[in-house]
Homo-oligomer: A and B are copies of this chain.
Amino acid sequence: MKLIENVRDMKEMIQKEKKNGKTIGFVPTMGFLHEGHLSLVREAVKKSECSVVSIFVNPAQFGPEEDFSRYPRDEDRDLRLLDKEGVSYAFVPKPQEMYPRGYRTYVQVQDMENRLCGASRPGHFKGVCTVVLKLFHIVQPDTAIFGQKDAQQAIILKRMIRDLNLDIVLRIMPIVRDKDGLALSSRNAYLGSEQREAAVCLYQSLKQAEQAVKDGERNADLVRSLIQEKIAGEPLARMDYAAVVDSENLKPLETIQPGQTLLALAVFIGETRLIDNMML
């Protein structure tokens, strides 16, 4: 695996690979890799002739009060893991390489970015879209691989790719969970042991909602309140949002449409904000 730290070198390598007719598979990450990330990485390595994984904790997607500076980082471990998976290139740029002095260009997917997580994290998806578009221009992937864990991100990026006429196939890989069902997340590292136990309420609330829908429930409000009640029953948890939305445009649904409904929630466990979701 080649470690690349600046944009120019990365572009040069990509140009060379493309000239040799190689297909490029790309996994953008913020590092502190877990099995969720690695499932994306394996997909890239398996399906593309050249695989690129970026590690970049993107300041533009964190609010001023958020956890940018304390976001967990372990570059050495990440690079060892990627090397072991057979990745071709790890792209690890510094913030000033991605956002040099005078930087001022941003991309927005209007009307989808202020819903769900965007409501509690203003500017978050603008930061995500901007950095992902930049990375796309640098890495020029044929396929980009993201996790279903960040469902809203995947839906917004799909829209951005289509709207901006990019020729990139977006692959969304299923959520990887711990034994008890908690979705893997770098932020799980923030949890104390009691909090870690409490955090399973996100998954359990989704399972409960899913069961209700399997049993025939179609009222979105009722399903949403099932989730809220479950979270309210966990003393260490505080609801941010629970949403039942159209999986194409993220608009709230009144009636659940199996096959195109996304259940999504965000919950604070202490200071740590966790998200989870399920497609119905």
Which of A104, A110, A133, A166 gathers the greatest number of chain B CB atoms within 10 Å? A104
- What interface size band does chain A fall in? 20 to 34
Q: Hey, which chain B residues are within 8 Å of A85, CB to CB? A: none
Q: A137-B164, A164-B134, A165-B138 are in contact. Are A110 and B102 (CB under 8 A)?
A: no
Q: Are B104 and A163 in contact (CB under 8 A)?
A: yes
Q: Which residues of B contact A160 (CB under 8 A)?
A: 105
Contact A112 B108 (CB under 8 A): no
Residues 135 to 181 of chain A near chain B (Cβ within 8 Å): 137-138, 159-160, 163-167
Q: State which of B103, B105, B163 has its C-beta within 8 Å of the C-beta of A103.
A: B163
Q: Contact check: which of B7, B105, B112, B133 meets A109 at CB < 8 Å?
A: B105
**Is A11 an interface position by the 8 A CB rule?**
yes
Residue-wise, chain A 93-111 has the 8 Å CB interface mask toward B (1 for contact) of 0000000001111111111
Which of A107, A134, A159, A167 counts the most B-chain CB atoms under 10 A from its CB? A107
Q: Report the bound CA distance from A196 to B228 in whole Å.
A: 68
Residue of B nearest to A249 (CB): B102
Establish whether residues B165 and A137, one from each chain, have CB atoms under 8 Å apart when the complex forms.
Answer: yes
| Alpha-carbon separation in the docked complex, A103 to B112 (Å) | 11
Give the oligomeric copy count: 2
Q: Is the CB of B108 within 8 A of A164?
A: no
Closest-CB distance, A114 to chain B (whole angstroms):
12
Closest partner residue, chain B, to A133 (CB atom): B164
- Report whether B166 and A105 are in contact in the complex, using a CB–CB cutoff of 8 Å: no
- When C-beta atoms are compared, the residue in chain B nearest to A102 turns out to be B249
- Select which of B104, B134, B165 is within 8 A of A7 by beta carbon: B165
Chain B residues near A111 (CB-CB < 8 A): 104
Nearest Cβ distance between residue A173 and chain B, in whole angstroms?
24
**A129 to chain B: closest CB distance in Å?**
8
B105 and A164 contacting across the interface, CB-CB below 8 Å: yes
Chain B residues in 8 Å Cβ range of A104: 109-112, 159, 163
The chain B residue sitting closest to A129, CB to CB, is B105
A108 to B249, CA, bound (A): 22
Are B159 and A137 within 8 A (Cβ)?
no
A63 to B63, CA, bound (A): 31
Contacts A7-B165, A133-B164, A134-B165: A106 and B102 contacting too (C-beta < 8 A)?
no
Further 8 A-B residue pairs, CB within 8 A, beyond A105-B129, A134-B164:
A7-B165, A11-B167, A102-B159, A105-B108, A106-B108, A107-B107, A107-B108, A134-B163
**Can you list 11 A-B pairs, Cβ within 8 angstroms, ordered by A?**
A103-B163, A104-B109, A104-B111, A105-B109, A105-B163, A107-B108, A134-B163, A134-B165, A137-B164, A137-B166, A137-B167
